[in-house]
Amino acid sequence: MILIQSVKMALKSILSNKLRSFLTMLGIIIGVFALVVLVSLVSGATSSITDTINDIGADQITVYYYDEHPLKMEDLENIAAFDSVTGTAPFLEASLTARTDKSTKRISIVGTTPDYVGIQSVKLVHGRFLMQPDIENNSRVCVINYNGAIEFFGRHNAVGETLKIDGINYTVIGVLDKTTLAEAMFSTSMTYSNFMVYVPFTTAARMNSSSTSVSSGISQFFIGAYPEDMGRAESDVRDYLVRLTRDPEANNFFIFNQSSISEAMDQITGVLSLLLGGIAGISLLVGGIGIMNIMLVSVTERTKEIGIRKAIGAGGGAIMLQFLIEAITLSIFGCGFGIGLSWLGMQVVNIIGNVHFGITPSVVMISVAFSSGVGVLFGLYPARKAAKMKPIDALRFN
């Protein structure tokens, strides 16, 4: 009953001074807005980057081999036999000219094997990817990316069409989905273009370009592994390559574990979230100081009211509870306005940036808890000051 009465009195006091109450809450509103928006933006950006990494393939390892004697397919088969490895795929590249009746463009040729589609999480919108018979028969077939299909054939379903590459006809057997990422980040000869064409590894090994020569040796390949086996797979591959070169100090290969990107991003965004959250937390503390200042003014203004209440029997605990609830109410109201403003801010960001970021629920809960804590922390001193007043002194106050 006392609690309900204290809440009613707190609301009455806040509503009787609307402008002052709003200005008091402004620090909390700004602090909550900054906390929710900044942390939600970091969380949304992290999620977007993580999705991109997963599209590339977070459970893969890329190996660059610099030895004068490149690896052979037998070496990749030996690596694929490890328990920690789910598959291997060579990556041979070249820059060649492709022609159709509609267009002539420079393209990036990638020679690989069927395991590539699983390791790189390749998605097809039409047709199929390379198969083992294509590799064994040196077939003149190709899979093109979505942009290439539109450019060379004027439509995305180009399965069955003929693409002339360096003067030789290749049959299109598949078209990649337009969301599939190309391998610009993996390119070692800077031959990447917007038009990617995938051909059997054995076919690519016989191609020559004026800018890039492709041989049957393998200097770059991908390894697939289960997420929990990434470390073991990397270790197994490293041991194999060291044994192959018979010179541990040769430093003739580089292994890039894709999962390290996710781990690095988690660390970076975690630190960034703490940093931005800390800055926003300072804003909340400043808002709390504003609440304390106004509550001290309120205690001074209502000194006679406190004296009358004490004179008719109100205890120090009841007086303290009233002012403490008033401080907490100011803080909670400010938090509510701040969350509402944050939601509007995120909608503006989504519209302007053409993204789909949302408010992180955990940040909202933290904001409410932190705001309540600020209300208690900075409302405690004014409440105790009011509770300790002597009735006779309070009644004499002018």
Neighbours of 346 (CB within 10 A): 20
Residue 195 and residue 96 share a domain: yes
Residue 131 and residue 48 share a domain: no
Residue 205 and residue 79 share a domain: yes
Residue 108 and residue 173 share a domain: yes
Q: pLDDT for 339-386, tens place per residue? A: 999 999 888 888 887 777 888 788 888 888 888 888 888 888 888 877
Residue 319 and residue 202 share a domain: no
CA–CA separation, 353 vs 372, rounded Å? 33
Q: Which residues contact 121 (CB under 8 A, 6 or more apart)?
A: 54, 55, 56, 57, 180
Residue 70 and residue 216 share a domain: yes
Q: Among 235, 259, 283, which residue terminates a domain?
A: 259
Residue 96 and residue 220 share a domain: yes
Amino acid, single-letter form, for residue 254: F
Residue 90 and residue 194 share a domain: yes
Q: Which residues contact 58 (CB under 8 A, 6 or more apart)?
A: 227, 258, 259, 261, 262
pTM above 0.95, yes or no: no
The residue range of the domain holding 169 is: 57-259
Residue 206 and residue 66 share a domain: yes
Q: Among 240, 259, 278, which residue terminates a domain?
A: 259
Distance of alpha carbon 224 from the chain centroid: 23
Count of structural domains within the chain: 2
Q: Among 231, 259, 287, which residue terminates a domain?
A: 259
Residue 253 and residue 271 share a domain: no
Residue 110 and residue 232 share a domain: yes
Residue 312 and residue 245 share a domain: no
Q: pLDDT for 139-193, tens place per residue? A: 999 999 998 999 999 998 999 999 999 889 999 999 998 876 544 444 444 445 6
* Residue 262: predicted pLDDT: 67
Region for residue 223 given its phi and psi (left: phi exceeds 0; alpha: psi -120 to 50; beta: otherwise): beta
From first to last of the 398 residues of the chain, give the pLDDT tens digit.
567 776 777 777 777 778 888 888 888 888 888 888 888 887 777 777 666 666 555 567 889 988 777 888 889 999 999 988 989 999 988 888 999 998 999 998 999 999 998 888 788 999 999 999 999 998 999 999 998 999 999 998 999 999 999 889 999 999 998 876 544 444 444 445 678 899 999 888 887 544 444 455 788 999 988 878 888 888 898 888 888 876 666 678 888 886 666 677 777 777 877 777 777 778 778 788 888 887 887 777 777 777 777 777 777 777 787 778 888 888 888 889 999 999 998 888 888 877 778 887 888 888 888 888 888 888 888 888 777 777 776 666 65
- What element of type H or E holds 170? strand 168-176
